Amino acid sequence: MAEEHGGAEERGAEGHGPEEPRAGRHGPEGHGPEERGAGGHGPEEHTVWGEPTPGASADRHELEKDFLLAMRRAGSIMQLLGQASAERIGINATDLNCLNIVALTGHVTAGELARQTGLTTASITGVLDRLEEGGFVRRVRDPHDRRRVIVELAYGPGLRDVGATFGPVVKAWRATAASYSDDELRLLLEFQGKLEEIMRGQLARLRGGDN
């Protein structure tokens, strides 16, 4: 299986080790003490998880708790969806994440891919070897600098499995978007942009070893 190709370092980079499916101590729904703290039901709420909005009503506090829990559940299910999708395609989760980065950027160097994922150059070389062998990407010379090698999508047979796997997901997203007005979608996009900024900042914090 493709999962056997990913080493411990790659699993660590994606967070798909044996403990990954469990958001809390008792499963994905998170009914352990970690979840109670994240939802604001334990003494850690005012320290680890931040302060509630000052002067807010009890209803507002409940909304904030629900929001925090919803964010955690969404993150957990996205990880599980990525893992299941990778297994369906026949690659491991790290390789799928790298493939997604290539697809989003259009083309990227191996060094840039290593920086974005936090993997070593040696690990990225293994990822690209597997993706190229599977017909997902190809490595070509940069036409503006022949010394540089660029990774781009191969648009070969391998990508057909990707389309078949994620096509229904994209259709479902599109159908959901159709139920919102233009202004509502703009608000959702604004929120998504802020969320991405937060996640990138936290990723940089963790990789930098900051508290």
**pLDDT in the model for residue 205:** 92
Model confidence at 209, pLDDT cuts 50, 70, 90, reads low
Position 16 pLDDT exceeds 90: no
Q: What pLDDT digit, counting tens, does each position of 91-122 carry?
A: 999 999 999 999 999 999 999 999 999 999 99
How far apart CA 80 and CA 96 sit, in angstroms, is 13
How far apart CA 104 and CA 188 sit, in angstroms, is 20
Give backbone dihedrals phi and psi of 172, rounded to 5 degrees, phi first.
-65, -40
Q: What is the dihedral of CA 174, 79, 104, 140, to 10 degrees?
A: -140
**pLDDT in the model for residue 69:** 95
**H or E stretch covering 192:** helix 182-208
Position 182 pLDDT exceeds 70: yes
* Residues 96, 99, 101: CA angle, nearest 5 degrees: 115
**pLDDT in the model for residue 208:** 87
**pLDDT in the model for residue 155:** 85
Q: What is the spatial order of strands in the sheet that 145-153 belongs to?
A: 107-109, 145-153, 137-142
Q: Which two tokens stand for residue 140?
A: 């070509």
Whether the CB-CB separation of 112 and 151 falls below 8 Å is answered with no
Domain extents in the chain: 21-89, 90-154
pTM to 2 decimals? 0.72
Domain 90-154 falls under CATH 1.10.10.10: yes
Position 21 pLDDT exceeds 70: no
Q: What pLDDT digit, counting tens, does each position of 48-100 carry?
A: 677 778 888 989 999 999 999 999 999 999 999 999 999 999 999 999 999 99
